[in-house]
A = this chain, B = another copy of it.
Amino acid sequence: MLEARLPQAALLKKIVEALKEMVNESNFDCGDSGISMQAMDSAHIAMCSLLLRSEGFEPYRCDRVISLGLSFSSLSKVLKCAGNDDVVTLKAEDDADTLGLMFESPKEERVSQFDLKLMDIDSDHVSIPDQEYDCTVHLSSAEFARICRDLSTFGASVVLDATKEGIKFSASGELGRGGILLKQQGSVDDSSPTSTRIEMREPVSVTLSLKYLNIFTKAAPLSEVVTINMSSEIPVLFQFSIGDIGHIRFYLAPQIQEDD
């Protein structure tokens, strides 16, 4: 059986809000080391994965591997019933057909118990090799979300150009064109965790669908920093940390650049 207690319901709420726009339902694989999930969007274009390490729960107990087929919209509805500061406890028996969620208010005068029906979901579990990337950019997730939203006005796709100087986002369309450059912050001014930082082997330029990037940025409330890992020709990885308990990763293949 699984039993996992998380002191802040807000965290779980944000995780589900971050993923529900991209994935309708998915299997949550619970094991010794924690909970993980992996899914593609319904069009099978982008992929996401979630990792929540057992150390992030107190306590965490999972005797044997369990796969919980959950609907994100149902999960979201149930989590709307939890206060942000509630303590959440997840429980599932082996071979259970429901997931139990208990919410306890901080003062313990209110206890809610929900039992969510589980689904049988065929999961096409693609294994993702741990990739070396030509370029890794750390930047403010709020800034990234803002840029993707703003550039959506101009076109359906954005070009990311990463050099040692900084990362540039550009889009063009009927209105005209737009470009936003985030400069790498000098090492002296490295104080802020949300400063733009770039590690690179060589410059990379990729074209990506803004529709998907705007879906990924729903994860911005989870982490103030997003890490973009890029090489030409292979899917770009966007990673949002979840405290120090895990992360959400999004993968999106670059579009073939057509010169016009």
Contacts and interface: CB of A to CB of B under 8 A. Distances in A.
A164 interface: no
Contacts of A180: 81, 110-113
A258 interface: no
A110 B196 CA distance: 10
B112 A183 contact: no
A181 interface: yes
A145 to B, nearest CB: 13
Interface in A180-232: 180-183, 185, 195-196
A74 interface: yes
Interface stretch (A31-39, A45-53, A170-178): A170-178
Given A80-B150, A80-B153, A74 B109 contact: no
A80 B151 CA distance: 10
A112 B151 CA distance: 11
Interface stretch (A9-17, A114-122, A123-131, A244-252): A114-122
A90 interface: no
Nearest to A99: B176
A77 interface: yes
A125 B47 CA distance: 56
Contacts of A111: 180-181, 183
A113 B169 CA distance: 10
A253 interface: no
A77 to B, nearest CB: 5
Nearest to A112: B180
13 contacts: A74-B176, A78-B176, A80-B150, A81-B150, A81-B178, A108-B183, A109-B182, A110-B182, A112-B178, A113-B179, A114-B176, A115-B176, A117-B176
Given A78-B176, A81-B153, 18 more contacts: A74-B176, A78-B175, A81-B150, A81-B178, A81-B180, A109-B182, A109-B183, A109-B185, A110-B143, A111-B180, A111-B183, A112-B178, A112-B179, A113-B178, A113-B179, A113-B180, A114-B177, A114-B179
